[in-house]
Homo-oligomer: A and B are copies of this chain.
Amino acid sequence: MEFPHFSTKERILGAAEELFARNGFAGASLRELTSAAKVNLAAVNYHFGSKDNLVNEVFRRRLDELSAQRLDALAQVLATAQPSLEDLLAAFIHPALALSLDKSGGATFVRVLARAYAEHNERLRKFLSENYGHVLKEFASAFGAQLPHLDKEELYWRIDIIAGALTYAMADFGVIKRRSSMSEQVHRERAAEHLIRFAAAGLRA
């Protein structure tokens, strides 16, 4: 349901997001993709050069803003007198939650993000690490300052677990299906609450 008044590039990005989330990067073919976007098959290579670069651009479109929001929220928390662990976690999680509630494909993109975690795609990992790795680094050092009782190794273990759990929860993986009576928004907000409480307790343990 990509509306025809969007530009060709936007329709391709939207359809790519949808199909990457559903079928993975290798599993989504350009013919399927261009057909869903209602554009010519050659349009992907014309506008994006290659399928690989289209994948990059799908991430760039969302991650630029998500990373900026996370860093903003982090800076805001660090500026307060007594930042709590929950505040730091919220600075990381709430922007992703907001993204997942975005009307135009945000929830879909979060599923794409989880795919990227799961696929050990070397090319994609390099792209993400080069362009957005500094965000994770800043959060790691903020957590470290809050948890002096943890040595570096333990801290990294726990952050790793949290990042994985966050990805899964946000992407709606696993066995849980929300009650149909509950709206998507309430569903995800509760997920974030649970995750923050859960993660803070685990980090302090």
Interface residues, chain A, CB within 8 Å of chain B? 21-22, 24, 26-27, 111, 114-115, 117-120, 136, 153-154, 156-165, 167-169, 173-176, 179, 190-191, 194-195, 197-205
Contacts of A161 in B (CB 8 A): 165, 168-169, 194-195, 198
Contacts of A164 in B (CB 8 A): 164-165, 167-169, 173-174
Contacts of A203 in B (CB 8 A): 198
Would you give the shortest CB distance from A118 to chain B, in whole angstroms? 3
- How distant is the Cα of A120 from the Cα of B165 in the complex, in angstroms? 17
Would you give the shortest CB distance from A160 to chain B, in whole angstroms? 4
- How distant is the Cα of A126 from the Cα of B30 in the complex, in angstroms? 27
Contacts of A153 in B (CB 8 A): 179
Q: Which of B118, B168, B200, B204 contacts A160 (CB 8 A)?
A: B168
Q: Which residue on chain B has the smallest CB distance to residue A118? A: B118
- How distant is the Cα of A200 from the Cα of B194 in the complex, in angstroms? 14
Interface centre among A26, A197, A202 (most CB of B within 10 A): A202
